[in-house]
Structure 1
Amino acid sequence: MATNLRRYAAVIRTHVCTPLLEQVVAALKAQTWAPTRVVFVDSSNDPAVREQLRRMGEVVTYPEPVFNYSVAINVGMAAVDEPHALLISSHVLLEDPAVLERSLKAAQAQGIEVVYWRHATSGKAALSVIGPEQFDGYNGLSNACAFLPVRVVKERPFRVDVFSAEDQEWAAWYFRTRRGQVLRVDDPAVKYLNPHVNTRKMINEELAIAYFAYPRNRWPDKIAARWGRAALALARGRRERAQMHWEIGRELLLMWFRAPSGTSKYF
């Protein structure tokens, strides 16, 4: 059950200091329920970047030569003493200074300790409670902006072998073992401004979800549906889209015979 959610640290994974990151941190510190501190997990291996980050918060150095999202999350969470942490991307801008307070009060009223935020494309704010019965492999969590109990993540860290969609795998574990609920907040004031979303990232996420978080997605009807979408996209002249769906369908089929492979990296 959720207790007082007001005391938390913000954990940000980064490898470069940009004007957007400075805006992200300024918006965090302007929240009516602001974090007690900001912790950067810096994978830049650049003293100049580290010095820029120190002007805005604390810095923890990413410990390995090869980047892995789960390792970065776990390193950041290990540095946190607060009972909760806001895991937020360097690309997520909170334009409403009351959005965290409003959402966390709603979670606290319902005894929910895991919250995540998305941009509301409809332009209207909405709250959704998601539990084991509602989980579909995509709606369990988003580590772009997620509020997590530190003790739980330290007890069961994010799996480093999960090459993508590590947030959905962790959510699947949480639903399966804790039978808990998650509050999803869709709000137009939450802006995801990542310029690096691309086809390879989308393919990796689909494959990781099917293998690690939601095996139903690799059943034969799902494979057939992917190839159907590939044929439709090809008929419409969308060759890149068709190739993406074809590759996902092929890898879902091969998943029955071998584990998929991928690289956890910044795109």
Structure 2
Amino acid sequence: MAASNYSLKVNRDLLDPNFESYRLSLDAIPTYNVELDAAVEEVKLKDSHYTLEHMRAFGMYNYLHLDPWYDDSVLFVDCKGRVLSLTVTLDTALGKPREVYRLSDDSERSDDRLCASLSLTSATWAALSDGSGRLYLLRTGKRGDSSHSKWEPLFVEDLGEPFTVLHSVSHVQSGVHIMEVLLLRVQKDPTETKGSGFSVSLEWITVANAEKKYEVRKRRVLRGKSVPHYAAVVPKGKGLMVASEKPGFDIDVIYGDKSAVFIFCLVKLTV
């Protein structure tokens, strides 16, 4: 099953012919420093992974996660497997890092593992990858400076090869809480003989609360040749939005209702 492709073209009638340029402000950019008792977990690429797609996907990863639901909060994962939260206080300093969750000690530390990745799904939920193929869905409660609660794992499952979490959304359908999570992998592909030998896959997972237990309801995989510039789940899980240089992802349903209708919009940006 192939996804539909759409191209976005510039409407030059909307361009301002009198526009000169943007002027950069010379005001100093505020910077903050804080002492850490353990370094931020940083995973270096192996020599065999220095392909263009590996560099795009994992080589320039931002280890600091801004919380879109709480403007003054920043989170990261350190080398001890702790998820730490920092708060900017009075626009002048960073608060002391506070542990909100710790990855399990039995998480495998394989040679092919990636950096841990975090997606803040909603004001009270988050999706976390340990970089070794395990996905955690966490009930965080209300985050922010006034919150001191620990995050609670309500779904933990090994999903195969290592991945990073690109995006996640949360919604309620017919009274059932559902989380949609989008994962990114760059995998060895024996059929890819003319290029790097790797292919790109996006896995879209739907997890639902069934009888007070969260379980995987659907798994779909999109396989292509290029790491997308942008990929996200559409609100309420109605589809995916993907912007990629090389359209042509193939879609497989590996778990769930194969008769379900998926809406995909793959975009090739052109000028």
Structure-1-length-normalised TM-score: 0.26
More strand by share: 2
Q: Which has the higher contact order (CA 8 A, sep 6+)?
A: 1
Structure-2-length-normalised TM-score: 0.26
Determine which structure has more spread, i.e. the larger CA radius of gyration.
2
More helix by share: 1
